[in-house]
Amino acid sequence: MWKIVNGKLIQTVDETRTEYKTRISASLIKKLKVMAEESNSHIGYLLENGFENILNESALIYDKKNRPKDRVEFRTTCDKDTLESLRLFAKSNKLNLNDVIEASESYINLEEVKNANWRYRIVKE
């Protein structure tokens, strides 16, 4: 992100975002990669949109017997508050965070997803 400070453009780190590491389905990552390319976005932004939308639900029905067997490590960034709310949501539904992350894929609204250039936005100080 860029900030305008005293008329000068300065590159800064977005303090509202945090990195996280999880294990999700490799086939889901491939599917998200295609969706991201088609919508000019990033996988992290797609997931974040799904997180925000799934948090609007009161409960999540998830069959633990159908967990994918192809989980791989995945790293990306997300809004700190959204990620913390997602952790609490997972705990209240007695699910692992990985399960909720994978379930959020069906809640992605491509019309509301951040554009790939969002990280280069300019913010006035």
25 phi/psi in degrees, rounded to 5: -60, 130
Residue 5 DSSP symbol: E
Over residues 44-98, the pLDDT tens digits come to 999 999 999 999 988 888 888 888 999 999 999 999 999 999 999 999 989 999 9
* Single-letter amino acid code for the residue at 36: A
Whole-number Å distance between alpha carbons of 112 and 124: 23
Radius of gyration of the chain (CA): 16
**DSSP H/E element including 36:** helix 26-38
**DSSP H/E element including 16:** none
Over residues 47-60, the pLDDT tens digits come to 999 999 999 988 88
Q: Which residue has the higher pLDDT, 61 or 103?
A: 103
The position carrying tokens 């390319």 is 37
Does the pTM exceed 0.75? yes
Question: Residue 124: which pLDDT band, with cuts at 50, 70 and 90?
Answer: confident
Is the per-residue pLDDT at 7 higher than 90? no
Q: Is 84 helix (H, G, I), strand (E, B) or coil?
A: helix
Residue 51, CA distances (Å) to 101, 105, 108 in order: 7, 8, 8
Whole-number Å distance between alpha carbons of 87 and 82: 9
Whole-number Å distance between alpha carbons of 92 and 89: 5
